[in-house]
Each structure stands twice: as structure tokens, then as C-alpha cells.
């Protein structure tokens, strides 16, 4: 696709190569969407498991913790079989689309956010329990307070999920198909260039991906520091 030199990747960025820009944009879109949806669902799950006692709770915690280590290629295969025309959700025709990639990364990220949020919220709940209880606050009413007071730790939790999503290649390769211009993202492009023996270009793309992830983490850090200082 491009010249094979370590600087080729940066030249492409410098002159805003449209193919590379669209690959970068799709990577961000897929991973940020998956993390956003996993956050919306994972935080309430984490909070619920942290606050309530119910049968099978310990088992659920173990499963959530274990699923933090889901192999991406297994998730990719499972989502592939689910979305394939011969599979249960085949009629929607989602296989080999960005939506399929978001679904796969969502499955990978959800247990990370839910499990880590559970631990953060449970620790805080131990600390607040007596005080909130004496004020007559129910568990359900305590959730917004807990989420708000734990927001800086939870931001780190979300960033851990984003790290997982942006770094994985196994799942998006299977469910996306690495189709040029449609489902090619940074990690699958890096894998492809490595396969073609364009090792220097692949490494350059890798550095660009890492820089992007670093930028997003820096932005998150700045936002949390600013708001922390404002609140005193």
C-alpha cells in the first residue's frame, strides 16, 4: 500500500494521507463507541454487584474478573458465529461491518469496566456505608453519590477498557474482515503490513497508534486534574 520505511508512516500523517486518516478515524470510532457503550452498561453492573448481596454473587465476581482475560480471538470467533448469515443474528447482515467490530470490542471491554468498577465502588461503599446509612440513604440512592465521588478512579477504569479496545487485533480481524476502506483499522493495518514483510512501515504505524492512545490518555488526565483543582 505504501513505501516501506520507518518514516513513511509519519510522512503519511504529515500530508494527511486520506487512506491513513480514514483508518485512524475508524479505529477511534470503533474503540470509543465500544468503550462508551460498555461504560454505560458496565458501571451500573459494577455498582449493583458492589452494593447488593444475592445468591451467586461470589461466582459472578469471579466470572467478571476472569472475563477480563477473554482472548480477543475467541470473542471474535463467538461474535462471528453469532452474526454470520447462518447464525442467530445473521438476518441483520452485520458481519464485516464496523458495527460488528464495535460489538466484539464491547464484549471484550464490558467485563473489564464492570469488574474494576465493582472493586472501586465496593471499597468506597465500605467507607461511606455508616454515614450514608445514618442519613437514611438507601443503596439505590447512594449509587449516584458513589459514582460521583469515585469518578477519578472510574475514569482510570474506563481508560483501561479503552486500552484493551484500541490494542486488540484478534477480534476485529475476524468480525471485520480487514476490508480496505471499510473495516481496516490501525491494528489490522499493522498486522497486514507485517504480513507483507513491510516491517518498518508496520512499526511506524504502531508508533502512530501508540501516540494516539497516549494523546487520549493525556486529555483524560488533563480533564480530571482541572476539575479536581476546581473543586479544591
Binding-site ranges for another protein (CB under 8 A):
1, 4, 29, 32-33, 36-37, 39-40, 84-87, 90-91, 93, 95-99, 102, 144, 147-148, 151, 177-180, 182, 192, 194-199
Q: Considering the complex, state which of residue 129 and residue 151 has its C-beta at the smaller distance from another protein.
A: 151
Decide whether 43 or 50 has the Cβ nearer to another protein.
Answer: 43
* R_g of the chain computed on alpha carbons: 20
| Side-chain-facing half-sphere of 107: CA atoms under 13 Å | 21
Between CA 123 and CA 69 the distance in angstroms is 22
Nearest one of 30, 37, 38 to 167, comparing CA atoms = 30
CB closer to another protein out of 1 and 60: 1
- Cell numbers placing 182: 471499510
Q: How far is the CB of 80 from another protein (least distance, A)?
A: 8
Give least dist CB 114 to another protein, A: 16
State the nearest-atom distance from the C-beta of 124 to another protein, in Å: 15
Quick one: 66 or 199, whose CB is closer to another protein?
Answer: 199
Of the pair 85, 140, the CB lying nearest another protein is at: 85
What is the C-alpha to C-alpha distance for residues 104 and 101, in angstroms, rounded to an integer? Answer: 5
Minimum distance, C-beta of residue 137 to another protein, in the bound complex (Å): 17
Cβ of residue 58: shortest distance to another protein, in angstroms?
Answer: 29
Q: Smallest gap, in angstroms, from Cβ of residue 63 to another protein? A: 26
Closer to another protein by Cβ: residue 156 or 194: 194
Helices (H), the chain: 8-14, 18-51, 57-67, 72-83, 98-134, 139-149, 151-167, 170-176, 186-195, 199-231
The Cα-based distances of 20 to 26, 94, 131, 180, 228 in angstroms read 10, 24, 54, 11, 36
Place of cell 497486514: 192
Amino acid at each position: 500500500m505504501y513505501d516501506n520505511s520507518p518514516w513513511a508512516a509519519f510522512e503519511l500523517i504529515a500530508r494527511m494521507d486520506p487512506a491513513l486518516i480514514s483508518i485512524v478515524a475508524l479505529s477511534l470510532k470503533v474503540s470509543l463507541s465500544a468503550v462508551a457503550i460498555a461504560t454505560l452498561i458496565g458501571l451500573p453492573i459494577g455498582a449493583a454487584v458492589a452494593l447488593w448481596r444475592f445468591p451467586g454473587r461470589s461466582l459472578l465476581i469471579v466470572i467478571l474478573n476472569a472475563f477480563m482475560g477473554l482472548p480477543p480471538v475467541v470473542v471474535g470467533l463467538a461474535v462471528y458465529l453469532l452474526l454470520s448469515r447462518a447464525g442467530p443474528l445473521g438476518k441483520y447482515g452485520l458481519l464485516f461491518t464496523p458495527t460488528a467490530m464495535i460489538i466484539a470490542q464491547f464484549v471484550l471491554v464490558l467485563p473489564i469496566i464492570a469488574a474494576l468498577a465493582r472493586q472501586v465502588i465496593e471499597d468506597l461503599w465500605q467507607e461511606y456505608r455508616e454515614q450514608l446509612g445514618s442519613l437514611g440513604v438507601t443503596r439505590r440512592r447512594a449509587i449516584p453519590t458513589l459514582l460521583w465521588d469515585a469518578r477519578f478512579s472510574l475514569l482510570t477504569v474506563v481508560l483501561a477498557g479503552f486500552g484493551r479496545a484500541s490494542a486488540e487485533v484478534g477480534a476485529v480481524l475476524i468480525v471485520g474482515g480487514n476490508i480496505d476502506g471499510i473495516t481496516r483499522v490501525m491494528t489490522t493495518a499493522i498486522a497486514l503490513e507485517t504480513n507483507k514483510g513491510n516491517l518498518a512501515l508496520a512499526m511506524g504505524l504502531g508508533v502512530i497508534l501508540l501516540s494516539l492512545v497516549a494523546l487520549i490518555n493525556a486529555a483524560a488526565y488533563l480533564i480530571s486534574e482541572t476539575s479536581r483543582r476546581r473543586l479544591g
